[in-house]
Structure 1
Amino acid sequence: MAYADGNLSTATGDGANASGFGSTATGNDAQATGDWSTATGNHAKATVGGSTATGYYAEATGKNSVALGAKSKASHDTNHRAAQAENNAVARSNNYTDNRFGELRQSLEHTEKRLNAGIAGVTALSSIPYAAGNKFSYGIGAGNYQNGNAVAAGVQFRVSQSTNVRLNISWDSAGNNATGVGIAGGW
């Protein structure tokens, strides 16, 4: 004989018991004792509110848990598992995004240092003074731009009364160097 003792409950099958509010027990000795629980299958048990046990000897013993299949057992809240899986996916996505932005920031900082050092190198090259009227002269210069620094050296050779040749080189704080060669003439 089946027992549906809970309000709005249903029980079918020999020895089936639906004692939880709004519970359903279907199958021989099926037990739906939690409110809004469902036990379907011979000897299936859904003992906590919102739990579902479907299959021969299936047992759902956790709030909102679901046990599917013969002799299966579930004791965890399936909504919690879904929420935890979603939270984990969001955390992984946030971590990936944070890492990518961190890499981008490092790349931009590295590029900025190289650019500032290059500007300092050009400043150092343009700061080299030369002695006018000499056949040969040399000079050194230094430059700074924000966090970049550089030194430069150069030589100038007067090839003829109206022609000069110049060679310059600079070394900057980013480990780069720049060279320049020029010729000037006049009449």
Structure 2
Amino acid sequence: MKVNLEICIDSFESAVNAVEGDCDRLEVCSSLDFGGLTPSIGLLLRLKTNFPTIPLMVMLRPRPGNFVYTTDESLVILEDLKWLKKAGADGFVFGALTKAFDLCPDWQGAIADAVSLGFRTILTSGQKYTALLGAENLKQICAEAKGRIDIMAGSGVNSSNLAEIIQKTGCDWYHGSASVIIHEEKNAISMGSSKASSRRVTSAEEVRKMKSL
């Protein structure tokens, strides 16, 4: 079984480290501390120029919070999609539902809907807080989806648990940030409301460890 690794990034630095660690593709975002938002066109263009052979899956999410969008928010998403596609996006990652897949009571029906609409992948933690906790459900979801749509296991996936998750689920794709905390000198003047003096950056070593599994 070929196992594939997608790394989500929100900076050029993280992308460089993910590629150095031999990831199979990138999920390109901004603001991963909010779960990932739509990235800038500038970031996508630089990634496309520097990593022309790495598939770039681009997040479409105009704000933090739920995935229940107004008409105006939907139009913003479609406008972003148009320009990001022109900038070289290989695919898009988004949710636009009253409930996301992991909250659907009828996940079999949700798979069928996603297949009929032409989606290629469902990212899920097996309807649990983490992929490891949802491993038994993920196994059932993968079996149901086999040959129709890829199931990507995500949430809390890292080098310490990936081998166990692979063994228990049999998914073809696995998703994580492979990030570490970088501490920075705190500015005397705060830019915005955040007081944080640290940030998370993808680690090439962690990606390499995950890929080796």
Do the structures match in fold with TM over 0.5? no
- Judging by fraction of residues, say which structure has more helix: 2
TM-score, normalised on structure 1?
0.18
TM-score, normalised on structure 2?
0.16
- Judging by fraction of residues, say which structure has more strand: 1
Q: Which has the higher contact order (CA 8 A, sep 6+)?
A: 2
